[in-house]
Amino acid sequence: MFNKSEIRALIISIIVISFAIGFDDKSPVFVLGHWIQNFIAVMLMVTVSFVVHQLGHKLVARANGFETEYNLWGVQSFKLTTKSLMGRTINKPFPKVIRIFGKQLTINAFPIGAVISVLTTLISNGKVFFLAIGQYNLLVKKATRVGRKYIEVTNVEEAKIALAGPIASIILMVIAKWFNIYGTLDTFILLNAALALFHMIPLPNLAGIKIYFGSRILYVTSLVFIISMVVLVYTVSTIPMLIISGVSAIIAFLLYYYYRYFN
């Protein structure tokens, strides 16, 4: 399901997200043993949540005749500049090849998402976190598109594949809420709510922008639904939460449709 490069990127992502969520263990006094125990528990939750989130993209992509490849959200066009002794500027664009412990490692892009996440956590002392650190690339396999009208991905297909990740996180959030009798799954609920929201942000190369440009009406409708679910998850029971969020999404759909096509 995941190749070696994806597994490596997933491991890095899970560690960074676990650091962001688990940095503040809510303890009034720092105790290393307690912090490590909390971090391990958070990492287990992050592993389940993040893998399911990415599987959402993969399964919907396969249903539409595509494959996805997960990697860290990076900026390939970002360039580092240094000045030599002669005063000349030397450009060092990505990808870069470095050596660690005698092994050659290629860095394809500057991992801006992971860097922002770590810096946000450290600066805010764990009070604020940033979880949009990974992206998926869509791989087109023409053999699996035989019989379809279009060989290349359509905008709507791209939007559906991108939306599958946030929806997978919302499903996990609802399941956790259903079994969260004594509040033991509060962190798991928060984690999946945050993953869904952060991946709806329309930033370059992330899922949110693929939904936004793939289908504006799907983006507006799904964003209202997800925000409504996240807002209500701690205040109302599961069934009313689903009903209110569904009605809110329908209203958003109708309003946008009227504004777009009749106004």
Question: Helix/strand/coil (H, E, C) string of 53-71?
Answer: HHHHHHHHHHHCCEEEEEE
Task: Confirm whether 221 is domain-assigned.
Answer: no
In a domain, 96, yes or no: yes
How high is the pLDDT of residue 26?
A: 85
CA distance 235 to 24: 24
Residues in a beta bridge with 106: 97
Tokens of 157: 């297909």
Domain that holds residue 97: 75-110
Residue 90 confidence (pLDDT)? 47
Q: Say if 7 falls within a structural domain.
A: no
Q: 217 by DSSP, 3-state: which? A: helix
User: Residue 89 domain-assigned?
Assistant: yes
**What pLDDT does residue 109 have?**
74
In a domain, 56, yes or no: no
Q: Is residue 46 part of a domain?
A: no
Please state whether 147 falls in left (phi above 0), alpha (psi between -120 and 50) or beta: left
Burial 114-135 (b: 16+ CB within 10 A, else e): bbbbbebbeeeebeebbbbbbb
Report whether 161 contacts 57 (CB < 8 A): yes
Predicted confidence pLDDT, tens digits, the chain (263 residues):
788 889 999 999 999 999 999 999 888 888 888 999 999 999 999 999 999 999 999 999 998 888 899 999 987 665 544 444 444 444 556 666 666 666 766 677 788 999 999 999 999 999 999 999 999 988 876 655 555 656 677 889 999 999 999 999 999 999 999 998 888 899 999 999 999 999 999 998 899 999 999 999 999 999 999 999 999 998 899 999 999 999 999 999 999 998 887 86
In a domain, 97, yes or no: yes
Residue 97 pLDDT? 66
Which secondary structure element, helix H or strand E, spans residue 100, and what is its range?
A: strand 96-100
Q: Tokens 């599958």, residue?
A: 164
Instruction: Work out the angle at residue 80's Cα, subtended by the Cα atoms of residues 78 and 81, and round it to the nearest 5 degrees.
Output: 135
Closest to 54 measured CA to CA, from 252, 207, 212: 207
Taking the C-alpha atoms of residue 142 and residue 98, their distance in angstroms, rounded to an integer, is 35
- Please give the pLDDT value at position 21: 95
Number of domains making up the chain: 1
The Cα 117–Cα 123 span in angstroms is 10
Asked if the structure places residue 93 within a domain, the reply is yes
Helix (H) or strand (E) holding 103: strand 103-107
